[in-house]
Amino acid sequence: MPVHSSRRLHHLLSFLSFIMLLPSLSAFSLQATSRLSSAMRSQHLLSINSRLMSVASGTNMESMKTDLPPFPLIGKNPDEEPPRVRFAPSPTGSLHVGGARTALYNWLIAQGARVEGDTNASFIVRVEDTDVARSTKESEESVLKDLEWLGLQWDEGPVTNGDFGPYRQSERADLYKSVARTLLDSGKAYPCFSTNEELESVKEAQMKAGESPRYDGKWRDADPELVQQKIDAGDPYTVRFKVPKGARVVIDDVVRGTIAWDAEATVGDFILLRSSGVPVYNFCVAVDDATMGITMVVRAEEHLTNTLRQGLILDALGAPRPRYAHCSLILGEDQQKLSKRHGATSCNQFKEDGFLPDAMINYLSLLGWNDGTDREIFTRDELVDSFDMSRVNPSGAVFDMQKLKWINGNHLKMMSIEEVKPLILEQLIKHNVLNSNGASDSINRITLAATCLAKQMMVTTVDAATNAKAVLAYPLPQSFDDLSSVEPDEQKLIKSGAFYNVAKAIVAAYDAGVLPRPNEVNVMEPFEELNGELIVEDNATGGGAYAYPAAWKTFMKTLGKEMNLKGKNLFHPARLAMTGVMSGQDVTKQMALLQLACEFGSAVDLEGGLEVVPLEVRIEMLRGFLETIPEEFRVKKEEVVVKEVVQGKKGGGDRRGEGTAAGVTSDAGDSADLVSTYEGPAFNTMDVRVGRITKVWKHEESDKLFCEEVDVGEAEPRQIASGLQPFFSESDLQDRKVLVLCNLKARKLAGFPSHGMVLCTSNDDHTSVKFCDAPVDAEIGERVWWGGDGVLPENMEEAAAENKFAKKKMFEKIAPYLRTNEFGVCEFLGKPIMTNSGPCTSAMADGGIS
Ligand code: GLU
């Protein structure tokens, strides 16, 4: 370009810049003066002031030519400098977990370096608000608030400021313009006068020709005279970056390794400044990374392609490129990018839902990183010590709500009562358990009791409020006719006759004034050791030898003796009577919380709709309920006794006799008794068949269920859901030969239509599960049978039709007598369950089969 025209162009650009700069001029000078402090400051100021002066006078062209802002990393290797990392949120919504993880990794890098003595390490927050239409102040505030909640405090950024500000792109407009001008001056960018229509028609033609659309380079080498004429005529133009011939951008990504782009083949000359003077996103990012001296850019994979343009701009500016690390996307369980439809994704929502910041960062850190071991629980300090970008892996991480909850529960356990208490208070108020205007002493004691009750079992702090609500309510139905409103186990307990007498005795004790009640002088007894230490474990009770917990224990012991009951046969009915729920936390702790809620002047939020059922009312409800229990359910059923006999045999080798080589019992002693006393349905009313799992996958909504397709010898495989996820992997199930109970009616399990049941063995507390296996030679579809001593009965019963089988609840009646013996042989009433190739077995001896 001849000198004179270049000068005229320069002149015009300066003028345009002046117009564009005017509104922000005074603000920028002020900020610049107050924020820049180091050597950088004088350099920055000098360069900015000389530029502004020359622009304002519109004369001294020459002084503008070298106006590049300082690039702190020039002449340095970013890898060897104290880390300066940045989190660059676009304030167009709330902080998403993906953004939070990016922020966390950046924070950990800076924090880790600082802990190792690198005082110059810096975590920067830069607000990328160039998209004026979508950026909002509220969003910026909420993102910053969430970062603060997570404890990811920034060293430089909005509010805190720093030496390299301003930290909002909207406040850096003049910087981008001056850099654009420098690029124009040096011929690394050029004005482009193509109109939108022209660009559109080029694009159309390219697409028609099967080429990927890109700028056609029309103004790249345009005649300077013509350019000048257009400028003189006031034609609008964009500033385009001149992609150098043969340019390549190659990066050594920390997470993804070497990535290279053939720039010329990938992009056309792209826009830096729009005709309105508004800079384009990638240009801002490159200029900011360069001027802020960013040493490493850690961001999401979706920005990988931006690196090409950003790299080209940085190269043109002569600024060293930072090191890049592109982290994988966070996915939902369906392997799609995590979004709102997968549930909570914003940090604020997790905060509301009772998650702890330390648990959040613990979990987020693991979405793509591990410390090389299978360790999963880290405190904040431990994360800072262990985190290392080189162990961040490139594969997509699936967001697992259950795991987050598990981690949250662990962190809650690790915290002290005093630390957790304020968080619980927040939830108790939010969920209308406490009235924030209530008496502070009452608020304090109820919060303490609710915290102690929930401390070791809650998964989120919301659980403490939910638990308190459950404890204060009394869900026993009014009458036996309403029994369907309670849990099946409770219905069973009541119908078994085990409930009536215990509950009756409790009512009688209450009437006689001997039912132990919380100590009104010190209601907190169940939560406090004698030395004042707080109790959080459910099975530990405080208060000493004469306190309420001790009195309750004595009462229960006496009751058990009188009624000849112990263990769960005593505790389940008593708990159901006192709390309306058969199993749950220590009764004395529950009653103490209830007492606090019923005290005169209690701070519970009755106006907010909280349901509190005082002991007096409970006893009256219980009394009414007991009256409605029909006569037949007031005594313990024979069946229960028989079941106990069977379970009592567990592990007793003598009833098995010597056994055959295969472990099949030949003993006729006790098991013969069992057979003769058994009054339930015949084994062979069950249609149990040998099947093979041909396909298996995890249920989409349940972390317990596997969905299977099982060949049971029918034209089509059956679809079956089994609660086996906690015990097996998919590969354990794939192609496995199994025993399938086929005449169960099809029903939906977590929405999945399941038709049949895979038989398994489990120990008594169901912590271990094994399959019931058919012999290797057994045929698929073959019916499994029981014939007493392992001989096929002459008149084998017909399998019951599905509807009959289900209606009569036959399996429930049969199941207590299905067990494995000490050799793992599957037995019914102590005799083997057979296929035509031999008995069925299991890897678990002495287990219950269901
Ligand atoms: N502002 C971008 C975002 O919010 C981040 C870009 C970057 O880190 O380079 O996704």
Quote the CA–CA distance of 668 and 665 in Å, as a whole number.
8
Whether residue 168 has its Cβ less than 6 Å from ligand 1: no
pLDDT computed for residue 670 by the predictor: 56
Whether the pLDDT of residue 131 is over 70: the answer is yes
Please give the number of the atom of ligand 1 that sits closest to the Cα of 306: 9
The CA 146 to ligand 1 mean position distance, Å, reads: 17
Is the beta carbon of 130 within 6 A of some atom in ligand 1?
Answer: no
Give the pLDDT mean for 833-850.
Answer: 92
Ligand 1 lined by 88 (C-beta under 6 Å)? yes
In the prediction, which pLDDT does 265 show? 86
- Cα–Cα nearest to 412, from 428, 398, 423: 423
Nearest ligand 1 atom to alpha carbon 128? 1
5-9, 245-249, 258-262, 784-788, range with the lowest pLDDT: 5-9
- For residue 302, the ligand 1 atom closest to its alpha carbon is 10
pLDDT at 433 over 80: yes
The residue-averaged pLDDT of 502-529 equals 94
Whole-number Å distance between alpha carbons of 595 and 520? 8
pLDDT at 48 over 60: no
Give the model confidence (pLDDT) of 180-209 as tens digits.
999 999 999 999 999 999 999 999 999 999
- Is 89's C-beta closer than 6 angstroms to any atom of ligand 1? yes
Ligand 1 pocket residue status of 91, Cβ below 6 Å: no
- Decide: 525 and 542 in contact? Cβ < 8 Å: yes
Residue 246, both tokens: 């043969």
Residue 205 · residue 146 · CB < 8 Å: no
Find the range with the poorest average confidence among 40-44, 287-291, 492-496, 728-732: 40-44
Split at pLDDT 50, 70, 90, the class of 337 is confident
Model confidence band, residue 68 (pLDDT cutoffs 50, 70, 90): low
Q: What is the pLDDT of residues 579-608, one digit of tens each?
A: 999 988 999 999 999 999 999 999 999 999
Q: Which of 9-13, 223-227, 535-539 has the lowest mean pLDDT?
A: 9-13
What local confidence, expressed as pLDDT, does residue 296 receive? Answer: 98
CA 238–ligand 1 middle distance (angstroms): 24
SS3 state of residue 619: helix
Cα–Cα distance between 424 and 448 in angstroms, integer? 9
Residue 265: CB partners within 8 Å, gap ≥ 6? none
Cα–Cα dist 739/564, whole Å? 40
**pLDDT tens, residue by residue, 808-830:** 788 888 988 999 988 889 999 98
Which residues lie closer than 8 Å to 4 by C-beta, 6 or more apart?
A: none
299 CA to middle of ligand 1, Å?
Answer: 7
Give dist(CA 766, CA 510) in Å, integer.
37
pLDDT, tens digit (0-9, with 9 covering 90-100), for 72-123: 999 999 999 999 999 999 999 999 999 999 999 999 999 999 999 999 999 9
Query: Active-site positions?
Result: 340
Q: How far is the CA of 309 from the centre of ligand 1 (A)?
A: 14
What tokens were used for 558? 């006496």
pLDDT score for 748: 86
Q: Which is higher by pLDDT, 143 or 803? A: 143
Q: Which atom of ligand 1 is nearest to the CA of 89?
A: 4
Fold of the domain spanning 671-849: OB fold (Dihydrolipoamide Acetyltransferase, E2P) (2.40.50)
CA 89 / ligand 1 centre spacing (Å): 6
CA of 379 to the centre of ligand 1 (A): 28
For residues 783 and 691, give the distance between their C-alpha atoms in angstroms, rounded to a whole number. Answer: 10
pLDDT at 313 > cutoff 90:
yes
> Looking at domain 1-194+223-399, which CATH architecture does it have?
3-Layer(aba) Sandwich (3.40)
Top mutation candidate among 170, 285, 337 for ligand 1, by most atoms within 8 Å of CB: 285
Our answer on whether the CB atom of 303 is closer than 6 Å to any ligand 1 atom is yes
Inter-residue contact 442 to 601 (CB < 8 Å): yes
- Which are the contacts of 139, defined by CB distance < 8 A and separation ≥ 6? 91, 92, 93, 94
What local confidence, expressed as pLDDT, does residue 362 receive? Answer: 98
Ligand 1 pocket member 90 (CB < 6 A): yes
Closest CA to 87 of 130, 127, 142: 127
Residue range 717-741: average pLDDT? 93
What is the distance between the alpha carbons of residues 409 and 355, in angstroms, rounded to a whole number?
A: 9
Q: According to the model, what pLDDT value does residue 672 have?
A: 62
Lowest mean pLDDT among 140-149, 350-359, 724-733: 724-733
User: Is any ligand 1 atom within 6 A of the Cβ of residue 309?
Assistant: no
| Residues whose CB is less than 8 angstroms from the CB of residue 561 and which lie 6 or more positions away in sequence, other chains included | none
**Residues making up the chain, counted from first to last:** 850
Helix orientation angle between 97-115 and 357-365, rounded to the nearest 10 degrees: 90
φ and ψ at residue 367, rounded to 5 degrees? -80, 75
Ligand 1 contacts CB of residue 579 (under 6 A): no
Which residues, in sequence order, are CB contacts of 536 under 8 Å at separation 6+? 417, 452, 455, 456
559-569 pLDDT tens trace:
999 988 888 89
- C-alpha span between 558 and 254 (Å, rounded): 69
Amino acid at 513: G
Location of each CATH 2.40.50.140 domain in the chain: 671-849
322 lines ligand 1 (CB under 6 A): no
Lowest mean per-residue pLDDT among 17-26, 90-99, 181-190, 230-239: 17-26
96 ligand 1 Cβ < 6 A? no
Could you tell me which residues come within 8 angstroms of residue 507 by beta carbon, excluding any fewer than 6 positions away? 577, 619, 622, 623, 626
Instruction: Please determine, for residue 469, whether its predicted confidence score (pLDDT) is greater than 50.
Output: yes
Contact by Cβ (8 Å): 653, 822: yes
Residue 680: C-alpha distances to residues 647, 816, 830 (Å)? 16, 10, 15
3-state DSSP assignment of residue 837 = coil
642 — pLDDT class (breaks 50, 70, 90)? very low
Mean pLDDT of the 451-462 span: 95
β-strands 397-398, 826-828 pairing: unpaired
Dist. CA 297 → ligand 1 center (Å): 10
Q: Identify which has the larger pLDDT, 820 or 45.
A: 820
Confidence class of residue 637 from pLDDT cuts 50, 70 and 90? low
Give the pair of three-digit tokens for residue 363: 């979990």
Taking residues 609-637, report their average pLDDT.
Answer: 93
Ligand 1, residues 90, 125, 346: which to mutate, most atoms within 8 A of Cβ? 90
Higher-pLDDT residue of 535 and 123 is 123
Q: Where in the chain is the domain with CATH 3.40.50.620?
A: 1-194+223-399
User: Rounded to the nearest whole angstrom, what is the distance from the C-alpha of residue 13 to the centroid of ligand 1?
Assistant: 30
pLDDT surpassing 80 at residue 18: no
Atom of ligand 1 nearest to the CA of 87: 8
pLDDT above 70 coverage of the chain, percent: 88
* 405 Cα–ligand 1 center, Å: 28
For tokens 């009959």, name the residue. Answer: 804
The beta strand positions in 81-211, using DSSP E, are 84-87, 122-125, 189-192
CA–centroid distance, residue 435 to ligand 1 (Å): 43
- pLDDT > 90 fraction of the chain, expressed in percent and rounded: 70
3-state SS, residue 747: strand
Q: Distance, CA 103 to ligand 1 centroid (Å)?
A: 11
Residue from 172, 281, 299 whose mutation best tests the ligand 1 pocket (most atoms within 8 A of CB): 299
> Ligand 1 atom closest to Cα of 92?
4
As a whole number, the mean pLDDT across the chain is: 86
Does 304 score more than 80 pLDDT?
yes
Pocket test for ligand 1, best of 144, 303, 327 (most atoms within 8 A of CB): 303
Mutate to test the pocket of ligand 1, among 128, 307, 327 (most ligand atoms within 8 A of CB): 128
pLDDT at 530 over 90: no
Residue 250's H or E segment, with its range, is strand 248-253
128: Cβ below 6 Å to ligand 1?
yes
Neighbours of 407 (CB within 10 A): 25
- Residue 62 — very low, low, confident or very high, per pLDDT cuts 50/70/90? very low
- d(C-alpha 623, C-alpha 803), whole Å: 38
Instruction: Tell whether ligand 1 has an atom less than 6 A from the beta carbon of residue 299.
Output: yes
pLDDT of residue 784: 95
The two three-digit tokens of residue 604, written as one number: 């519970």
CA dihedral 739, 743, 747, 752 (to 10 degrees): 30
Residue nearest (by alpha carbon) to ligand 1 atom 5: 88
CA–CA gap between residue 609 and residue 593 (Å, rounded): 18
The Cβ of residue 79 has, within 10 Å, a number of other Cβ atoms equal to 11
Q: How confident is the model at residue 70 (pLDDT cuts 50, 70, 90)?
A: confident
849 pLDDT band, cuts 50/70/90, is: very high
